[in-house]
Amino acid sequence: MPAAVNRAPAATGASAANAARRGRWILAAAILGSSMVFIDGTVVNVALPALQSSLRTTSSGIQWVVEAYTLFLAALLLLGGSLGDLYGRRKVFAAGIAIFAAASVWCGAAPDLTHLIVARSLQGVGGALLVPGSLALVSAGFPPRERGRAIGTWSGFTAITSAIGPPLGGWLVEHASWRWVFFLNVPIALAVLAILAWRIPESRSDAGGAIDWPGSLLATLGLGGLVTALIESARGGPVVWIGGAAGVVALAAFFVVEARSVHPMVPLALFRSRRFAGANLLTLFLYAALIGTLFFLPLNLIQVQGYTPTQAGAALLPFVVLMFTLSRWSGGLVQRWGARLPLVVGPLIAAAGYALLARPGIGGAFVTTFLPGILVLGLGMAVSVAPLTTTVMTAVPEQRAGIASAINNAISRVGGLLAIAILGIALAAVFNAALDRRLGAMSLSPEARARIDAQRPRLAAAEVPDREVRRAIAESFVAGFRVVTLLGAGLAVASSLSAAWLIGKDESVKPS
C-alpha cells in the first residue's frame, strides 16, 4: 500500500511536468508561427520603396503587393478557424505554415510584379490558416486556469516581433535586398514545422459543424472586386466598372447567404448587440486610418525625406513600444471608467497624432517632425485597443467569444484593405494636381514634360535628372501625404463618434 501511495504522486508530478513542457512547446510554435504574419504585416511596408525601384512599378503596383496579401487574409480568416476546429488545429496550422513558407520563397524569387502579386495572394491564404490556428492551439493546450497567462505571453511576444519587424526589414533591405524580407520566413517556418511534428498533439472541436464555402467565396470575390475597382480607377477602363459591380453584387449575396446559412461564417445575429456592432464599426474606422496611413509613411520617409530603410523602420519603434508598455495600464482604464470613455477619448488622441503627421514638409530632424505625431498616435491607439478588445469579448455570450474576436480581427483587416485603395486615390489626385501647378510655373519643353508625365504613376519614385523637377515631385507627394493623414484623422474621429453613439451600457445577444 505505501508503495502504491508513493507512485501516484510521482505519476501525477510526471504528468504535470510533461504538460508544462508540452505547453512551452505549444507556445513556442504558436509565437514563431504567428510572428511570420505579424512581421510580414509591418516589414513589407518598409521594403516597398526598394521593391518599387527594383521592379520599376507604379504606385498601384506596390498597392497590389500589399492588397493581394491582405485580401485573402481578411476574406479567409474565419474560414481558417473553422477548418482547424473541424479537421484538426495542428494539421491546419501546419498547412498554413507550409503554404506561407512556400509563398515566401516565391515572393523572394519573383522575377516580376505579376509573380510577386500572385505569391503574395498565396501568402495571404497561408496566413488565414495559421493566424487563427496559433491562438486555437494555445487555448486548447492549456487548462482554463493557465490559459489567460498563456494567451498573455503569446500577445506579448507577438507585440515584440511586430516591433522588431520594421527595423530588421529595413536593415535587410539596406544591406542585402528586399527579397530577404521574404526569405526570412523560411527558417522560422522550418523550426515551427519541426516542433509541430515532434512535440504538439492534435486537437479539434467536439461540436462538429460545417464549412461555409459559399460565404468564403463571396467574401473574397466581393472584397476583391471593390479593391480592383478602387486601385485601377486612375487608369479607368471596363475593369473598374466590372470589378466594382461584381464586388457590390458579391457582397450583397454574401449577406443574403450568411442570413440564411445554418452554419454561417459570420453569424449576423451577433450584430443585434448594439455594443458589438459599435465596436466593429469603430474597428473598421480606426484600423482603416492606421493601416492606410502607415502604408504611405515609409514611402514619404524613404523616397522624399531621404531616410535609409533602417531609419524608416526604426521610426515606427516608438509607436509599437508605447502600445506595448501601456497595454496593462490601458486595461486598467476599463476597470476604472468602463470601456466607453476610453473608446471615445482614445481615437480622438489618435486623430491628433494623424494631424501632427500632416505638419512636416521636406527635411528637418525626426524628433521635431515625425516623432511627435508617432508618439501621440501611439498613445491614442494604446488607450483604445484594450477597451476595444474588452468590448468585443463582453458584448456577446461567452460561448460566442471566439467567433466574435475572429470577426473583429477580420474587420480590422478589411478596414486596412479598403483604406489603402481609397487613400491611394486621394494621394494620387492631390499629387497630380499639385505637380501640374508646379510644372506649369517652369519652362519645360514638350519633350521634357512628356517624360515627366510618363513617370507620374510612380509618384515620389519618379526618376528625373532635373533637381528642380525632383523637388516639385517631392513637394507634390508631401501635399498628397498630408491629405492622407488628415483623412486618417477624420476616420479616427468617426471611430470616436461611433463609440459615443453605439457603445452604452453592457448588453449581449442570445446565441442564434
Query: Which band of pLDDT confidence, cut at 50, 70 and 90, is reported for residue 37?
Result: confident
Per the CB < 8 A criterion, the answer to whether 225 and 250 are in contact is yes
Spatial separation of the C-alpha atoms in residues 169 and 104, rounded to whole Å: 14
pLDDT at residue 510 greater than cutoff 60: no
The residue ranges of every structural domain in the chain are: 14-200, 212-262, 265-512
Q: Which residues have CB under 8 Å from 92's CB, separation 6+?
A: 80, 83, 84, 129, 133
Q: For residue 61, which of 414, 479, 306, 424 has the smallest C-alpha distance?
A: 424
The CATH classification number of 265-512 equals: 1.20.1250.20
Q: Measured between alpha carbons, how far is residue 99 from residues 124, 265, 270, 425 in Å?
A: 9, 22, 32, 32
Pairwise pLDDT comparison (35 vs 124), residue with the higher score: 124
Spatial separation of the C-alpha atoms in residues 459 and 454, rounded to whole Å: 11
Spatial separation of the C-alpha atoms in residues 126 and 263, rounded to whole Å: 23
- How many C-beta atoms lie closer than 10 Å to residue 327's C-beta? 17
Q: Measured between alpha carbons, how far is residue 184 from residues 104, 168, 280 in Å?
A: 8, 10, 33
Tell me the per-residue pLDDT of 17-27, one tens digit each, with 9 for 90 and over.
666 677 788 88
Spatial separation of the C-alpha atoms in residues 335 and 330, rounded to whole Å: 9
Task: Identify the weakest region by mean pLDDT among 309-323, 396-410, 425-439.
Answer: 396-410
Spatial separation of the C-alpha atoms in residues 404 and 389, rounded to whole Å: 10
Tell me the per-residue pLDDT of 254-300, one tens digit each, with 9 for 90 and over.
999 999 988 888 888 889 888 899 999 999 999 999 999 999 999 99
The CATH classification number of 14-200 equals: 1.20.1250.20
Q: For residue 128, which of 61, 83, 181 has the smallest C-alpha distance?
A: 83
The answer to whether 14-200 and 265-512 have equal CATH topology is: yes
**Burial, 414: exposed, middle or buried (Cβ in 10 Å; 0-12, 13-18, 19+)?**
buried
Spatial separation of the C-alpha atoms in residues 355 and 348, rounded to whole Å: 11
Q: What is the pLDDT of residue 370?
A: 96
**Length in residues, the chain:** 512
Looking at residue 333, its amino acid is L
The model's pTM is 0.88
Spatial separation of the C-alpha atoms in residues 26 and 280, rounded to whole Å: 30
Distance between start and end Cα atoms, the chain = 54
Pairwise pLDDT comparison (507 vs 291), residue with the higher score: 291
Per the CB < 8 A criterion, the answer to whether 377 and 397 are in contact is no
- 14-52 as b/e, with b when 16 or more CB fall inside 10 Å? eeeeeeeeebeebbbbbbbbbbbbbbbbbbbbbbbbbbb
CA dihedral 302, 308, 312, 317 (to 10 degrees): 180
Q: Residue range 308-324: average pLDDT?
A: 88
Q: Residue range 352-378: average pLDDT?
A: 95
Opening angle at CA 379, ends 498 and 478, nearest 5: 85
Q: In Å, how far from its chain's centre is CA 328? A: 22
Tell me the per-residue pLDDT of 80-96, one tens digit each, with 9 for 90 and over.
888 887 888 889 999 99
Spatial separation of the C-alpha atoms in residues 313 and 480, rounded to whole Å: 21
- Residue where the block lists cell 482603416: 288
Tell me the per-residue pLDDT of 143-175, one tens digit each, with 9 for 90 and over.
777 776 777 677 777 777 777 788 888 899 988
Spatial separation of the C-alpha atoms in residues 305 and 363, rounded to whole Å: 6
DSSP label at 201? P
Q: Chain-wide mean pLDDT for the chain?
A: 86
Per the CB < 8 A criterion, the answer to whether 411 and 277 are in contact is no
